[in-house]
Amino acid sequence: MKKGFLLSLFTLITSMKAYASFPVFIWDNQEGLMKPVSCQITANETIPFRISRFWGQGQNKGIENLRNYKGVRQSHLINGSLVKLIPARKKRDYEHIEVVGLNQGASVQKTRWFSERLDRGYLFHKSLVPLDDYILEVDSKELGEDAKTLGVNKSSFWKIESSDSYYNIKCGDKGREYTLFRVYDSLQDSDPKAFVGVYWDETKLFKNFVTHEYYEDRDENTELARAYNIQDLINSSEAEIAVVEDKVEEASEEGIDRLIQELQGNSYFGASNKSLKGLSPLAPKEEIEAPQEVTTTATTEENLDVEEVVKSMENQVCVPSKTLNVRSEELDTVLFRASKNEKVKIFQSWDTEDTKVKVIDGVEYTFVKVEFADREESDQKVGWIAEKFISPFGQCRYQIEKKERGIPVDTQITGLDDKKCCDFPTVKKPTHSYTSGMRMFNARRGGGKRAHAACDLYRYIDEPALSVAPGKVVRGLYYFYQGTYAIEVKHSGGFIVRYGELTGKKASGVAEGKFVKMGQKLGFIGKVNSNCCRPMLHFELYRGNKKGSLSTNGNKYRRRSDLMNPTKYLLKWEEANL
């Protein structure tokens, strides 16, 4: 046989073996690690888990206060603790959370006033940061015999799977959705030992852990950002690999090329799945706007069966009119009306029927029990609505369209402090906070030898990057960093913005020497080829009172000396525009 062919084939098979060797599990509080059966991977924009941190002023910066709805302090939550968002009465600038587990690595003196696992309350919204910024070190004692199953020693290191988006393992049509983690034996490992899905309400393994900031390890171990095809890992089996090895032994010289091509076409190298439901059909008018009088004898939260759980998938009311009738359990009374596009969650019961059928004005409807978790009114949270008027959130054909962004505005400003300044540079809110983690200005780089010169605004690839103000392009699209590009604009009033980590695609009417308007599309959001992080707009801000290249040596940022921290301006513009 040809030596080159054999070497190529051996390398390919070896890489497939290594790729397929990562086991995938789901976690159960009673059973521990379990193999997923009939499961698929779904991509999600958000997850319920967050990490707590101190925000604001105060002497004890090692804790944050957990409060009740009226703002009274209930307990002290240790920074770096794991929490999850749970539905409750809305409180301005606060999120309602439940404590999942406590950071054991914090150097604070605990008292009886400290928060415990499963405590609930309100945290200031800026005290919650994405789990992407941290790695959880779990003592093997918390895992018991499952530590051996994972192949870890004294500790295991859990990192949320967040390449491009978050990922859930969903098993069965009505099954739970498990948030996916990578599990490492060491932060120096190039590959994880396993992938484990954790359901938001079965988190005993995270009762105690030590929190590590992920961005501190970013430059020292870029392997932690490696991307994997999780769906193929679930589908793979040792039998498939054995068949490949048998083929190698039997293959002739003439068949080597064909075999390599066959292997390269194998599903191990395919794309991951995304599961989406279809749109709801057009609704007959009779049920949408039934002229019945609304009664106030509604089912309340206190009446809920403790055996019932709400499906984790977010849905919305999808009707062409403004409202939809919400009925009683007997389906003969209209309790209240739901608004078009209002968020709704479907109940799943273990011991009662999930659906009911009723004929209204000659039309047969299938009804499901739902909860409107975002409502403050306790007597208008639960009821039954026609199933055909529910769609996955964001997929309703009757979605209320918000004002389109990316339309240039013909205006003039005098500078950064002008009341008319400025637009936000992305079409929607960033998916992650740019005031924390490796995304924030002044974050560590290169093991602390340099500092981040921008705010990284995470969005989605190929979305437009918008001009924050009118100005002139002083440097057209040019190569910037790890396969991405940048453009520099001197805006009215003299300040300069570098819009970085764009794709190489040029926006219409944007070139060096051209004038741009506020809100005009300057380029398109890209992603660095190292796979270290999600697609983003890298936003650098300069006073504009210096000359020369924006990138230079001589300071920790490796930037020109008129570099500014853009955070306060971005927060102001986000509040005003988004």
437-577: CATH, from 3.40.640.10, 3.40.50.300, 3.50.50.60, 2.70.70.10: 2.70.70.10
List the CATH code of the domain at 285-392. 2.30.30.40
Query: Which helix (H) or strand (E) element contains residue 239?
Result: helix 238-250
CATH 2.30.30.40 placement within the chain: 285-392
DSSP per position, 346-372: EEE-SSS-SEEEEEETTEEEEEEEEE-
- pLDDT on residue 66: 93
- pLDDT on residue 311: 40
Where in 265-402 does DSSP place strands (E)? Answer: 309-310, 315-317, 323-327, 334-339, 343-348, 355-360, 363-371, 382-386, 390-392
| Residue 169 structure tokens | 């393992």
Per-residue pLDDT of the chain (578 residues; tens, 9 = 90+): 444 444 444 443 444 344 446 889 999 877 789 888 778 888 888 899 999 998 876 666 788 999 999 999 999 999 999 999 999 999 999 999 999 999 998 888 777 889 999 999 999 999 999 998 899 999 998 888 889 989 999 999 999 988 778 888 887 665 678 999 999 998 888 789 999 999 988 898 999 999 998 764 444 445 566 667 666 666 653 333 333 334 433 333 333 334 334 434 433 222 333 332 222 333 333 344 433 434 433 333 334 343 333 444 578 888 877 788 899 989 988 888 888 888 888 887 655 677 889 888 778 889 999 988 876 556 678 999 998 889 887 777 766 455 567 788 889 999 999 989 999 999 999 988 898 888 999 988 777 788 999 999 999 889 999 999 999 999 999 999 889 999 999 999 999 999 999 999 999 999 999 999 999 999 999 998 877 788 999 999 999 999 999 999 989 999 999 999 999 999 999 988 88
Q: Cα(475)–Cα(486) distance, rounded to whole angstroms?
A: 9
Hey, how many other C-beta atoms are within 10 angstroms of the C-beta on 379? 14
CB 360 within 8 A of CB 384: no
DSSP state of 282: P
Q: Which residue has the tokens 């079965």?
A: 202
Q: Cα(490)–Cα(475) distance, rounded to whole angstroms?
A: 9
Q: Cα(508)–Cα(488) distance, rounded to whole angstroms?
A: 16
Q: Cα(516)–Cα(520) distance, rounded to whole angstroms?
A: 6
Q: At a CB cut-off of 8 Å and minimum separation 6, what does 456 contact?
A: 434, 438, 439, 501, 533, 536, 537, 538, 539
| Residue 488 structure tokens | 């520099």
Q: Rounded to an integer, what is the distance from CA 231 to the centroid of its chain?
A: 18
For 189, the 3-state DSSP assignment is: coil
434-438 contacts, C-beta under 8 A, 24 or more apart: 434/458, 434/567, 434/570, 435/126, 435/567, 435/571, 436/53, 436/129, 436/130, 436/133, 437/129, 437/130, 437/132, 437/133, 437/213, 437/214, 437/215, 438/133, 438/214, 438/215, 438/218, 438/533
- pLDDT on residue 265: 41
- pLDDT on residue 271: 31
Q: Cα(46)–Cα(168) distance, rounded to whole angstroms?
A: 10
Q: Look up residue 337 and give its amino acid.
A: R
22: left (phi over 0), alpha (psi -120 to 50) or beta: beta
| Residue 131 structure tokens | 């789990």
Q: Cα(117)–Cα(104) distance, rounded to whole angstroms?
A: 12
Strand partners, 85: 97
Q: Cα(537)–Cα(36) distance, rounded to whole angstroms?
A: 37
Q: Cα(324)–Cα(393) distance, rounded to whole angstroms?
A: 16
Number of H helices, E strands in the chain: 8, 36
* Residue length of the chain: 578
pTM above 0.75, yes or no: no
Q: Cα(140)–Cα(153) distance, rounded to whole angstroms?
A: 7
CB 203 within 8 A of CB 181: no
| Longest distance between any two alpha carbons in the chain, whole Å | 84
DSSP state of 216: G
CATH 2.70.70.10 placement within the chain: 437-577
CB 540 within 8 A of CB 563: yes
Q: Which residue has the tokens 């990284």?
A: 456
| Rg of the chain in Å (alpha carbons) | 27
- pLDDT on residue 239: 32
CB 513 within 8 A of CB 472: yes
Q: Give the burial string for 424-461 (b: 16+ CB within 10 Å, else e).
A: bbbbeebbbbbbbbbbbbebbbeeeeebbbbbbbbbbe
Strand partners, 490: 472, 496
Q: Cα(91)–Cα(532) distance, rounded to whole angstroms?
A: 35
DSSP per position, 117-186: TT-EEEEEGGGEEEGGGEEEEEEHHHHTTHHHHHT--SEEEEEE--SSSEEEEEESTT--EEEEEEEES-
Strand partners, 496: 490, 542
Dihedral sign from CA coordinates of 242, 247, 249, 253? negative
- pLDDT on residue 60: 67
Q: At a CB cut-off of 8 Å and minimum separation 6, what does 422 contact?
A: 413, 416, 468, 469, 491, 518, 569, 573
